[in-house]
Amino acid sequence: MNIVITGASRGIGYELVKLLSADSKNTIIAIARNPEKLDELKRVCSEFNPASKVIPVVCDLSNSNEISALNSKIKLHLASVNILINNAGAIVNKAFSEITSTELEYVYRVNVFSVFQLIQTILPLMGKNERAHIVNIGSMGGFQGSAKFAGLSAYSSSKAALACLTECLAEEFKDSTISFNYLALGATQTEMLNEAFPGYKAPLSASEMASFIADFALNAHKFMNGKVLPISLSTP
C-alpha cells in the first residue's frame, strides 16, 4: 500500500506511521512541519522494522504554496496513492470573544482549507488500479448533537466543516473508485487534548486510537463511503 499521512510528527499521526510501517509492503509519506521529529520517526520505524519504507516530507499545511508543491514531492517516490489520512489539526483554546481573525484563519487553514487543497492535489494519484480511501480525522467536538465545550468554538466548528466536506466528496465521487470517510474521535491522550483540556486523563492512548484508525483506513472503504462515525469512549 502507498499511504500518505499528515500530522505525522506527534500524537496519533506519529503512532500511525510507526504501526503501518511495520508492514514492509507499505510505503508511507509522512508529512509534518518539523524535520527533526520526522527524522526521529523514520529512525524509530527503521529500528522496529529495518525494511520499513517511511519517506519524511516537510510541509506547513497552513501554507497553500507548500501544499501545492506536495504533488511533485510525492510523485518523486510514488506513482499512485492508495490511502490518504488527513490527521493534522490545529486548535485554539480561547473564549469566543477573544479569538482573533488570525487565530481563526489559522485553525481553518489547517483543519479545513489544507484538507480541501491536499485532496485536490493527491486525487490524480488515487484510484488508478484499485479502490482508494481518504480518511479525514475529526473530533466529537464537530459531531452534530455531541457535547460542546467553551473555548473550542474555532476548533469544533472547523471539524464540523470537515465532516460536511467528507459527505460532499463521497457524493461527488460516488461513481469513482475513491471512498471518503470521517472519524469523529473522542478523548485520546495527545498533546492536542492537553491543549484543550489541561490535566485531563483520556481513556485511550494515541497508539490505541492509531491501531483502530490504521485498520479502518486499510479496510473500511470495502464496506462504507461518506460516513461520519463517532469513535469515542468519552467526550472528553
Residue by residue, pLDDT tens for the chain (236 residues) are: 999 999 999 999 999 999 999 999 999 999 999 999 999 999 999 999 999 999 999 999 999 999 999 989 999 999 999 999 999 999 999 999 999 999 999 999 999 999 999 999 999 999 887 899 999 999 999 999 999 999 999 999 999 999 999 999 999 999 999 999 999 999 999 999 998 999 999 999 999 999 999 999 999 999 999 999 999 998 88
Please tell me the class of the 55-210+218-231 domain. alpha beta
Domain assignments of the chain as residue spans, ordered by start:
55-210+218-231
pLDDT score at 128: 84
Reported pTM: 0.96
DSSP the chain: -EEEEESTTSHHHHHHHHHHTTSTT-EEEEEES-HHHHHHHHHHHHHH-TT-EEEEEE--TT-HHHHHTHHHHHHTT-S-BSEEEE---------GGG--HHHHHHHHIIIIIHHHHHHHHHGGGBSSSS-EEEEEEEEGGGSTTS---TT-HHHHHHHHHHHHHHHHHHHHTTTSSEEEEEEEE---BSHHHHHHSTT---SSBHHHHHHHHHHHHHHGGGT-SSEEEEE-S---
